[in-house]
Amino acid sequence: MSFLVYIAAGDETFLESYGEQFYPFVVGAAANIHTALVKANLANKVKVVVPCSYDVFRSESGLPSKGHFRPNVNKTMMELLTFLSKHESPFFVTISPFQSYHEVKNISLDFALFRESAHPRNDSRKIYKNSFQLSYDTIITALSRAGFPHMDIVIGQIGWPTDGAANATSSLAEEFMKGLMDHLHTRSGKNLSPQDLPMEIYIFSLLDEDQRSIASGNFERHWGVFTFDGQAKYQVDLGQGSRKLENAQDVQYHSSKWCVVNNNRDLSNATALALDACSVADCSSLSHGGSCFNLSWPGNISYAFNSYYQQHDQKAESCAFGGLGLITTVDPSVDTCRFVVELRTSLSVPLHGHTLFRWIISPMLTILLYLIRDIFS
């Protein structure tokens, strides 16, 4: 069995919030990696790609037929597309109906979630019933206008977050994923040209990442299909038929202890201490619409304290907070708001503050070893 492997040069280097700081380097970096692959006789099996965020596109009317690349990225994008075309590499791009729904006023939740009740959009006699297809056809139009109408497209990231914002929930994530799978299955059964469907799609992501940048929103730390400790948030058919997503087994946690606020102390400085804790730890679930949004004061203070305490491996001094912290064995979780107990680091490998433990490491290493064997054989 042969594999096509990708090496990504950067991660959404054209993201608008980054400015133009990476523009002078991205194509050169990709070219240098390709040169190294050529010297190693791997260029036919390993392709260099540059993942792009969806905000590289513009459409003044919001319709695919008017799609084009953002003006300030045009020059570098042309260089990139020329490089990709020359070496038969696909165009990697993120599609995020969730962010489109949050940022674009004329996209409804129904439209983002593939619901039958969604109000369709009409564009030059073509009817769009969901945000995904509208976004995908915008990409096709932009590539065509740039002179690359037949370039293969890979959706490098797509998903729906489950916390950290309004409408970021597990139930809506499940609905979105099922809608996406049904949509792709329906379209794949039609007589379409190759570019009418992405060459590949990568679900974002496997696990939550508690140290991921939240510049775009607190939901950025909650894209996982699984929680940080390997528990499936919902069920969806990812092509495995009747098989269900399986939870991690024999997960090794720290002791059942939590750090909460000591209500018997003067709490006048508690909010400031909680803000300090959240600047280091992950308090994204406390944001508006999040799973812990409804925690009243000082419950939200306790959440911040505990997040910091768990991140520091339950060390006693990490629950001090000037005498306002109190270690308890009574789980303070309320309804959907989970006060986590972190994983034992002796059985884990750090990954973005949470841990990627051996139940994932072992099978992934096995797959990687087989992949490497096929590449070099």
Residues with active-site annotation? 12
CA distances from 271 to 65, 214, 242, 276, 292 (A): 50, 21, 48, 9, 16
Residue whose C-alpha is closest to residue 261's, from 203, 215, 308: 308
The DSSP output letter for 334 is B
- DSSP codes of every residue in 50-82: --B-GGGEE-TTS-GGG-EE-GGGHHHHHHHHH
The DSSP output letter for 137 is H
Give the other-Cβ count within 10 Å of 276's Cβ. Answer: 13
Residues 165 and 288: beta-carbon distance below 8 Å = yes
Beta bridge partner(s), residue 260: 326
> Which run of H or E residues covers position 92?
strand 91-94
Give the other-Cβ count within 10 Å of 224's Cβ. Answer: 24
Residue whose C-alpha is closest to residue 166's, from 115, 205, 118, 219: 219
Residues 259 and 308: beta-carbon distance below 8 Å = yes
Tokens encoding 243: 């098989």
Query: What is the amino acid identity at position 144?
Result: S
